[in-house]
Every structure is written in C-alpha cells, then in structure tokens.
Amino acid sequence: DGGITQSPKYLFRKEGQNVTLSCEQNLNHDAMYWYRQDPGQGLRLIYYSQIVNDFQKGDIAEGYSVSREKKESFPLTVTSAQKNPTAFYLCASRGQGNYEQYFGPGTRLTVT
C-alpha cells in the first residue's frame, strides 16, 4: 500500500534526552513537512523539505533538527533544547504540482 508511515506511535523520553521521530513515504512525493499539534490547537510547521538534501525552517524550528538524505525519508530530531517537547507530531507529504498535503498517523511524544 502507498502511504506515509511514522514510528513509533507513542514515545516516552526523559527530559534532557534527544529523540528521533521517523517519517517514511512511498508516494514518490518531493515535498515533506513536519508539524506539531498541541491539545486544542492548530498545526504548527516545524520544518519542511521540497527536495532531497534541502530543508527549511518553519514557524517553530527552535529545538528541532531534520535531515533529508533520501526522497522517502524525513526524520525529525527533538533535541534537549526544545523547551516543551510533549506534543503530537505529524509528518506530511505533497506531490509535485499539487497543494494538498497528506499526513502520516503521527507520533505522540511525552517527555517527563
């Protein structure tokens, strides 16, 4: 099946630890995005990548890092510098020539 996968579904970490969230797509989409959603709030853009080996900061990039070494993969690292990392993290992708984005199932990160 074609789609976007994110793993793990739930992730628990201690404060001060870096953690990497996985996002993989087999839709042959060029653009990929990472969003964060907090309870009762809208999605906020963390980072995006329009092509392999290139990525740009979104609205709330501080405390996060990404890489885009392969078209299919766009992992997000939540570093210890992120002050409030507990949130629902969503990865999305978009095909060339389209504006719609399609989402993976998300990773719910809890940092204590």
Partner 1 sequence: RKEVEQDPGPFNVPEGATVAFNCTYSNSASQSFFWYRQDCRKEPKLLMSVYSSGNEDGRFTAQLNRASQYISLLIRDSKLSDSATYLCVVNMGRDNAGNMLTFGGGTRLMVKP
Residue 28: burial class (beta carbons within 10 Å; 0-12, 13-18, 19+): exposed
Q: Which amino acid, one-letter code, is at 72?
A: E
Q: Residues 36 to 65: which contact partner 1 by CB under 8 A?
A: 40-43, 45, 48, 50, 56
Q: What number of CA atoms fall less than 13 Å from residue 85's CA on the CB side?
A: 27
Contact stretch for partner 1 (CB under 8 A) within 13-21, 62-70, 71-79, 96-104: 96-104
- Smaller CB separation from partner 1, 8 or 105: 105
| Beta strand pairing call for 102-103 and 87-94 | antiparallel
- Closest of 95, 92, 107 to residue 45, by C-alpha: 92
Task: Assess 31 for contact with partner 1 (CB under 8 A).
Answer: yes
> Which residue in 46, 74, 104, 109 binds partner 1 (CB under 8 A)?
104
Task: Assess 102 for contact with partner 1 (CB under 8 A).
Answer: yes
Q: Which positions touch partner 1 (CB under 8 A)?
A: 31, 35, 40-43, 45, 48, 50, 56, 88, 90, 94, 99-106, 108
